[in-house]
Amino acid sequence: MSAAPASFAALFAPYTLRSVTIPNRVWMAPMCQYSAEAFGPNAGVAHEWHFAHYAARAVGGTGLIIQEATAVSPEGRISPYDLGIWNDAQVEALRPITAFVKAQGAVPGIQIGHAGRKASTERPWKGGRWVGPEAHGWLPSAPSAVPFHEGDPVPHELTVDEIREITGQFAAAAERALAAGYEVVEIHGAHGYLIGQFLSPDSNKRTDEYGGSFENRTRFPLEVVDAVRAVWPAELPLFFRISATDWLDGEGWTADETVRLAGLLLEHGVDLLDVSTGGLSPHAKVPVGPGYQVPFAARVKGETGLPVAAVGLITDPEQAEKILANGEADAVLLGRELLRDPYWARRAAAELGGELRTPTQYHRAW
């Protein structure tokens, strides 16, 4: 792993994981756009919106762009309008995006995931609740027959064979991600989606080898990591996104368990933990505030040595610089702030004295 040169702001020092050098520590968090077609031959296929969205952040100087949660199967989509990576047509549509991102000097990453019981929902601006077949929806699957919201349909409880099939879908998605040109894969284990549902005793009520003890609840996540690592090239980094706590007063997944799992993920070939929180239960009380999730990332880094990225209401360049300078994280992930300002990295570089590659076409402005 690379260290920040003294002559640069820490935020604009390059960072190397395996063979990939990311030009700075301003990284884009995966954020669903809910903008793909919902059904037919183009279901889950990226189009002009996705190209323009990611291209703008690459031109804006973002070092690593992690594409929104991209489903490993049709049933794994959060909404019918999510991107997918379960077929070759989807791969072909993603290649122009990764090629353009690389041409700007940024690194293209992709988050692969399965929504579990939180699947088949309407787009957030239309309420975000479960939708049925009349709106291109389906019955979700989950570790246990426990719905996310009261009034949602009871999800199908996965059999052991179905769990293993989904593990294979994650591996196949990683292979397609490589074919599409991505250099970082992130496994989505956060925000109450399928992997997080297995981790949390609040949603995982199984009594077989996938439920109950910490070892059993982490079995499926570690099997997914092993399956992906087996097909993802050894020279390319693998990330894992975690919700460090469910914010359920000890009744769900906890920070202590996150630290314990982080050590195992390191042993299983994960290169960086993307540390978020929450999303498992609509009843959680989350104390949202500037940098509220950073202490969880700092604890993982301090107690396990696994590199971490911090996320959550990081909006100000000085705030981001301080997180890195204090050693609380190895990079910062910006979400909504990059929706508001695709050129955030350039503004931060001007404020902090960092250096960024500028497209030749824009040199006259800098």
Q: What mean pLDDT comes out for the span 284-289?
A: 93
Q: How many CB atoms lie within 10 A of CB 303?
A: 14
- Indicate if the alpha-carbon torsion angle 257, 220, 309, 334 is positive or negative: negative
pLDDT over 70 (residue 1): no
pLDDT at 97: 98
340, 344, 350, 354: CA torsion to nearest 10: 170
Rounded Cα gap, residues 223 and 104, in angstroms: 35
CB-based contact 110:66 (threshold 8 Å)? yes
Residue 40: name the closest of 92, 78, 84, 72 by CA. Answer: 84
Q: What is the pTM of this model?
A: 0.96
Structure tokens at 243: 């919700």
Q: What mean pLDDT comes out for the span 254-282?
A: 97
Q: Which of 193, 210, 292, 343 is catalytic?
A: 193
pLDDT at 5: 40
Q: What mean pLDDT comes out for the span 232-246?
A: 98
| Single-letter code of the amino acid located at 206 | R
pLDDT level of residue 250 (50, 70, 90 thresholds): confident
Q: What mean pLDDT comes out for the span 98-104?
A: 98
| 200-203-206 Cα angle (round to 5) | 95
Structure tokens at 287: 């104390």
Token pair 């199908």 in the structure block, residue: 156
Q: Is 193 a catalytic residue?
A: yes
pLDDT level of residue 8 (50, 70, 90 thresholds): low
**Which residue ranges form the domains of the chain, and what is each CATH number?**
13-358 (3.20.20.70)
pLDDT over 60 (residue 141): yes
CB neighbour class for 37 (10 Å; exposed up to 12, middle 13-18, buried from 19): middle
pLDDT level of residue 251 (50, 70, 90 thresholds): confident
Question: HEC profile for 96-154?
Answer: HHHHHHHHCCCEEEEEEECCHHHCCECCHHHCCCECCHHHCCCCCEECCCCCCCCCCCC
pLDDT at 195: 98
What is the gyration radius of the CA atoms in the chain, in angstroms?
19
Residue 286 has phi, psi (to 5 degrees) of -100, 120
Distance from the first to the final alpha carbon of the chain: 30
Structure tokens at 102: 């690389």
pLDDT over 50 (residue 252): yes
- Indicate if the alpha-carbon torsion angle 265, 279, 197, 87 is positive or negative: negative
Average pLDDT, the chain: 96
pLDDT level of residue 4 (50, 70, 90 thresholds): very low
Q: Are strands 141-142 and 156-157 parallel, antiparallel or unpaired?
A: parallel
Digit-coded pLDDT (tens) for 310-354: 999 999 999 999 999 999 999 999 999 999 999 999 999 999 999
Rounded Cα gap, residues 155 and 366, in angstroms: 54
What is the Cα 177 distance to its own chain's centre? 14
pLDDT at 255: 97
pLDDT level of residue 3 (50, 70, 90 thresholds): very low
pLDDT level of residue 189 (50, 70, 90 thresholds): very high
